[in-house]
């Protein structure tokens, strides 16, 4: 682990990448084809992280990653609701 404490060990990064990459490729192809990213795909990616991350990362790191996601998600929803930022192609 790096001095900052947030870089995953290489083995953990490989496992998480192997689990997430097929989902990410499917989302990318769906977005290119139909300009849609289904909520189910996003939730599957989140579920993959929630299930696998505690198995390969220390729990404080998992908690920090989830907290970082929440910190970015809340303002993103606010900006999209205010019309200051796009929330898709609709």
Domain membership flag for residue 90:
no
Domain membership flag for residue 3:
no
DSSP for 25-83, written as a single string: HHHHHHHHHHS---HHHHHHHHHHHHHHHHHHS-HHHHHHHHHHHHHHHHHHHHHHHTT
Domain membership flag for residue 86:
no
Domain membership flag for residue 46:
yes
Length of the chain counted residue by residue:
90
User: Could you tell me the sign of the dihedral formed by the alpha carbons of 9, 11, 15, 18, in that order?
Assistant: positive
Strand (E) positions, the chain?
none
Domain membership flag for residue 19:
yes
Domain membership flag for residue 2:
no
Closest listed residue to residue 13, CA positions, set 21, 4, 23: 21
Domain membership flag for residue 4:
no
Q: Which pLDDT belongs to residue 87?
A: 67
Q: Which domain holds residue 59?
A: 10-81
Domain membership flag for residue 70:
yes
The mean pLDDT value for 46-68 works out to: 93
Please report, rounded to a whole number, the percentage of residues in the chain having pLDDT higher than 90. 56
pTM: 0.77
Into how many domains does the chain fold?
Answer: 1
Q: Which pLDDT belongs to residue 85?
A: 81
């Amino acid at each position: 682990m790096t001095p900052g404490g947030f870089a995953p060990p290489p083995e953990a990064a490989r496992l998480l990448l192997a689990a997430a990459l097929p989902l990410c490729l499917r989302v990318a192809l769906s977005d290119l084809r139909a300009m849609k990213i289904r909520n189910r795909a996003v939730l599957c990616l989140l579920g993959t992280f929630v299930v696998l991350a505690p198995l390969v990362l220390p729990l404080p790191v998992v908690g920090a990653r989830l907290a970082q996601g929440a910190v970015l998600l809340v303002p993103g929803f606010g900006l999209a609701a205010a019309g200051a930022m796009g929330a898709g192609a609709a």
